Amino acid sequence: MSISLRSSSLRGIKSLYLKNGTRCLSTASATHDSNKKNIVLVDGVRSPFLLSGTSYAKLMPHELARHSLLSLLRKTKLDKTLVDYIVYGSVIQEVKTSNIAREAALAAGFSDKTPAHTVTMACISSNVAITTGMGFITTGAFDTIVAGGVEFMSDVPIRFSRKMRSLMMKASKAKSLGQQLSLLSQFRPNFLAPELPAVAEFSSGETMGHSADRLAASFQVTRQEQDDYALRSHTLAKEAQEKGYFTDLVPFKVSGVDELINKDNGIRVSTKEQLAKLKGAFTDGASACLITTEDKAKQLGLKPKAYLRDFTFVSQDPVDQLLLGPAYGIPKLLKRSGLSLKDIDSWEVHEAFAGQIVANIKALESDWWCKTYLGLSEKYGAPDMNKFNNWGGSLSIGHPFAATGVRLCMHTANRLVREDGKLGVVAACAAGGQGVAMLLERHPDATAN
């Protein structure tokens, strides 16, 4: 699935960046069909990303999402009545708030007349929320969209076994004592064994971690390369954190927690030996962003961060290529846009695992893989690592499944300002062998605040 926001897609964008040998920012009149809409990312926010079971542990997911929604309104100074629609992502859903977009919106004080729905596509759920909003704007259905996502792994739904559930359902319908006793006689102690949310692929039964290990092995990614990359992620995240670059992060005062939560708590700079001993951890967090048309932003007195220029989704074999979404998505996106690797100033690629990142890079550098799976005549080439995840990534900052997509977009937009770039690419893999790639362009009014 993909959508083009220009009459000629973005195939002419490359030439439009060259004037007398100098790259320049595009404008609506220069690069965009007057009948089309320039869609902009106005701004975005997120909660601090925390390891599950820590300071967010007593919250409910919609409360975490509420914080991001309210923080977005405060940061943009937007009247909530001007929001036409809310799209929110969630993966492991709280059963009491299955449409968490609606429940969080109501908790944040949005009008009950503002529609809201929840989307899910594993680790790219908030990317889906954003692109769904782009579709609404493109078709003229709505002008001003809030998109985001929340993940809360501190309290996941745990079910009784299916046999126990079946017995309980029958018991609820039993009318006589005899019927109830008959059902009771069918009970067995092993019926009480709980069912936790699956961490394995339904189609293959394999955990994502095991799949990542197999992927790394298939591309001959060494443990040294994985440890080096993990250390890079944590080191760059720590530097960005200390420099105050995470301006999308909004502190959260949680009831019952003494200290103000004002930073991600998973960033650890240590030796490679110490990092190698760390166990995988789940993360809690939420995010939200505002997207609209450039004309509407001007009308409302808003200064956008970036143009949302294009996107594509990809899907491949969920067994042997589960985590290769970026390797498939990046070439497809850039081809659609008439761009090459050297045209991109900022790369923000989701770090599911260190081995997964290195494997994707090696895939793009492999003649055989690119010929076999992308149909190219030679290797595509890898992104410039000097422009790649320069503020760290999911390995260090954390990865609340449905919230990460907004963080990737916001880091892209803010890095383009701080690094004086023009074009940025967001890419991510997701469960089910799926992935996303998005193209952002720095807006002339953008700041990194």
Catalytic residue numbers read 123, 399, 429
- Give me 161's structure tokens: 């076994």
CB 286 within 8 A of CB 101: no
CB 239 within 8 A of CB 345: no
Q: How far is CA 407 from the centre of its chain?
A: 7
215 vs 145: CA distance, rounded Å? 37
317 vs 152: CA distance, rounded Å? 28
For 295, phi and psi rounded to 5 degrees? -65, -40
Question: Whose CA is closest to 61, among 116, 111, 102?
Answer: 102
CA distances from 447 to 68, 108, 240, 416, 443 (A): 20, 27, 16, 9, 9
CB 367 within 8 A of CB 376: no
The identity of residue 12, as a single letter, is G
Q: Which sign does the torsion angle of CA 433, 289, 49, 101 carry?
A: negative
402 vs 285: CA distance, rounded Å? 9
Q: What is the DSSP letter of 58?
A: T
